[in-house]
Structure 1
Amino acid sequence: MHPRRFARVRPTGRVPNSVKLLLEPKAPLIECRLVDYSAGGACIELPKALVLPERFEMFHGNIKKRCRRVWSRGLRVGVSF
Protein backbone atom coordinates (compact mmCIF):
# COMPACT_ATOMS: atom_id res chain seq x y z
CA MET A 1 0.00 0.00 0.00
CA HIS A 2 1.35 3.41 -0.93
CA PRO A 3 1.36 6.22 1.63
CA ARG A 4 -1.05 9.09 1.07
CA ARG A 5 0.24 12.29 -0.45
CA PHE A 6 -1.87 14.50 1.81
CA ALA A 7 -3.20 13.83 5.30
CA ARG A 8 -6.98 13.59 5.39
CA VAL A 9 -8.86 15.28 8.20
CA ARG A 10 -12.49 15.58 9.17
CA PRO A 11 -13.92 18.98 8.30
CA THR A 12 -14.20 21.16 11.40
CA GLY A 13 -14.95 24.74 12.23
CA ARG A 14 -16.51 26.80 9.48
CA VAL A 15 -16.11 24.20 6.73
CA PRO A 16 -19.50 23.26 5.22
CA ASN A 17 -20.42 19.60 5.70
CA SER A 18 -22.19 19.38 2.36
CA VAL A 19 -21.03 19.57 -1.24
CA LYS A 20 -22.89 19.66 -4.52
CA LEU A 21 -21.90 17.62 -7.55
CA LEU A 22 -22.41 18.61 -11.18
CA LEU A 23 -22.12 15.44 -13.23
CA GLU A 24 -23.06 16.89 -16.64
CA PRO A 25 -23.73 20.36 -18.04
CA LYS A 26 -27.36 21.38 -17.51
CA ALA A 27 -27.95 18.46 -15.11
CA PRO A 28 -29.38 19.13 -11.63
CA LEU A 29 -26.91 19.39 -8.77
CA ILE A 30 -26.65 16.42 -6.41
CA GLU A 31 -26.24 17.27 -2.72
CA CYS A 32 -23.80 15.01 -0.83
CA ARG A 33 -22.19 14.85 2.61
CA LEU A 34 -18.50 15.71 2.99
CA VAL A 35 -16.76 13.03 5.08
CA ASP A 36 -13.17 14.32 4.90
CA TYR A 37 -11.24 16.90 2.93
CA SER A 38 -7.59 17.61 2.16
CA ALA A 39 -5.60 19.72 -0.29
CA GLY A 40 -5.42 16.84 -2.78
CA GLY A 41 -8.86 15.26 -2.52
CA ALA A 42 -11.94 14.42 -0.52
CA CYS A 43 -14.23 11.63 0.57
CA ILE A 44 -17.93 12.22 -0.06
CA GLU A 45 -21.01 10.22 0.82
CA LEU A 46 -23.77 10.03 -1.78
CA PRO A 47 -27.45 10.22 -0.76
CA LYS A 48 -28.27 7.09 -2.80
CA ALA A 49 -26.48 4.63 -5.06
CA LEU A 50 -25.31 6.50 -8.18
CA VAL A 51 -22.85 5.73 -10.93
CA LEU A 52 -20.47 8.68 -11.07
CA PRO A 53 -18.55 9.53 -14.23
CA GLU A 54 -14.74 9.50 -14.19
CA ARG A 55 -14.61 13.34 -14.05
CA PHE A 56 -17.10 15.86 -12.67
CA GLU A 57 -17.28 19.17 -10.80
CA MET A 58 -17.78 19.65 -7.07
CA PHE A 59 -19.01 22.81 -5.37
CA HIS A 60 -17.76 23.21 -1.80
CA GLY A 61 -19.06 26.45 -0.34
CA ASN A 62 -18.17 29.05 -2.96
CA ILE A 63 -15.29 26.99 -4.39
CA LYS A 64 -15.61 24.96 -7.58
CA LYS A 65 -13.27 21.98 -7.97
CA ARG A 66 -12.75 19.71 -10.99
CA CYS A 67 -12.65 16.19 -9.58
CA ARG A 68 -11.57 12.75 -10.68
CA ARG A 69 -13.15 9.67 -9.11
CA VAL A 70 -10.43 7.55 -7.49
CA TRP A 71 -12.33 4.89 -5.56
CA SER A 72 -15.83 3.98 -4.40
CA ARG A 73 -17.13 1.69 -1.66
CA GLY A 74 -20.87 1.57 -1.15
CA LEU A 75 -22.17 5.13 -0.90
CA ARG A 76 -18.73 6.65 -0.24
CA VAL A 77 -16.55 7.95 -3.06
CA GLY A 78 -12.97 9.22 -2.98
CA VAL A 79 -12.05 12.02 -5.36
CA SER A 80 -8.85 13.84 -6.20
CA PHE A 81 -8.55 17.47 -7.31
Structure 2
Amino acid sequence: MRVRPSGLVPKIGKIYVDPKSPAIECQVIDVSASGACLYVQGSAPIPKRFTFLHGSVRKSSRLVWEKGRKIGIQF
Protein backbone atom coordinates (compact mmCIF):
# COMPACT_ATOMS: atom_id res chain seq x y z
CA MET A 1 0.00 0.00 0.00
CA ARG A 2 1.37 3.41 -0.94
CA VAL A 3 0.86 6.41 1.29
CA ARG A 4 1.18 10.09 0.58
CA PRO A 5 3.92 11.71 2.69
CA SER A 6 2.53 13.71 5.59
CA GLY A 7 3.60 14.95 9.01
CA LEU A 8 7.31 14.40 9.58
CA VAL A 9 7.92 12.39 6.39
CA PRO A 10 10.26 14.36 4.08
CA LYS A 11 8.60 15.41 0.83
CA ILE A 12 11.93 15.94 -0.91
CA GLY A 13 14.36 13.23 -1.95
CA LYS A 14 17.59 12.99 -3.90
CA ILE A 15 18.80 10.62 -6.59
CA TYR A 16 22.52 9.83 -6.65
CA VAL A 17 23.84 8.30 -9.87
CA ASP A 18 27.53 8.25 -8.91
CA PRO A 19 29.82 10.15 -6.52
CA LYS A 20 31.12 12.44 -9.30
CA SER A 21 27.68 13.62 -10.48
CA PRO A 22 25.51 16.14 -8.63
CA ALA A 23 22.39 14.80 -6.90
CA ILE A 24 19.08 15.06 -8.77
CA GLU A 25 16.38 16.59 -6.55
CA CYS A 26 12.89 15.12 -6.58
CA GLN A 27 9.53 15.52 -4.88
CA VAL A 28 8.16 12.39 -3.19
CA ILE A 29 4.57 11.91 -4.35
CA ASP A 30 3.97 8.66 -2.49
CA VAL A 31 6.02 5.89 -0.91
CA SER A 32 5.63 2.26 0.18
CA ALA A 33 7.91 -0.35 1.72
CA SER A 34 9.00 -1.51 -1.75
CA GLY A 35 9.02 1.64 -3.87
CA ALA A 36 7.98 5.23 -4.51
CA CYS A 37 6.50 7.62 -7.05
CA LEU A 38 8.62 10.72 -7.60
CA TYR A 39 8.49 13.96 -9.55
CA VAL A 40 12.03 14.69 -10.76
CA GLN A 41 13.31 18.27 -10.99
CA GLY A 42 15.33 19.51 -13.96
CA SER A 43 16.03 17.72 -17.22
CA ALA A 44 18.81 15.27 -16.28
CA PRO A 45 18.24 11.75 -17.62
CA ILE A 46 17.23 9.18 -15.00
CA PRO A 47 19.41 6.05 -15.02
CA LYS A 48 18.02 2.52 -14.64
CA ARG A 49 19.81 2.02 -11.28
CA PHE A 50 20.72 4.62 -8.64
CA THR A 51 20.76 5.40 -4.92
CA PHE A 52 17.67 7.17 -3.55
CA LEU A 53 18.05 9.31 -0.42
CA HIS A 54 14.83 10.03 1.51
CA GLY A 55 15.36 11.69 4.88
CA SER A 56 18.35 9.85 6.34
CA VAL A 57 17.62 6.55 4.54
CA ARG A 58 19.61 5.52 1.45
CA LYS A 59 18.12 2.79 -0.74
CA SER A 60 19.49 1.07 -3.82
CA SER A 61 16.74 1.61 -6.37
CA ARG A 62 15.78 0.90 -9.95
CA LEU A 63 13.58 2.78 -12.39
CA VAL A 64 10.34 0.86 -13.07
CA TRP A 65 8.35 3.35 -15.16
CA GLU A 66 8.58 6.90 -16.47
CA LYS A 67 5.90 9.36 -17.64
CA GLY A 68 7.51 12.70 -18.40
CA ARG A 69 9.28 13.80 -15.22
CA LYS A 70 7.12 11.55 -13.01
CA ILE A 71 8.77 8.20 -12.27
CA GLY A 72 8.11 5.00 -10.36
CA ILE A 73 10.99 3.32 -8.56
CA GLN A 74 11.47 0.03 -6.74
CA PHE A 75 13.77 -0.45 -3.74
TM-score by length of 2: 0.93
The structure with the greater share of residues assigned to strand is: 2
Distance of 1:48 and 1:71 partners within structure 2: 18
The count of aligned residue pairs is: 75
User: Between the two proteins, what is the percent identity of the paired residues?
Assistant: 43
Single out whichever of 50-59 and 34-43 deviates more from structure 2. Answer: 50-59
1:35 aligns with 2:6: no
5+ residue gaps in structure 2?
none
Greater Rg over alpha carbons, structure: 1
After superposition, the CA RMSD in angstroms is 1.0
Look up the match of 1:10. Answer: 4
Moved over 4 A (4+): none
Distance of 1:49 and 1:77 partners within structure 2: 13
TM-score by length of 1: 0.86
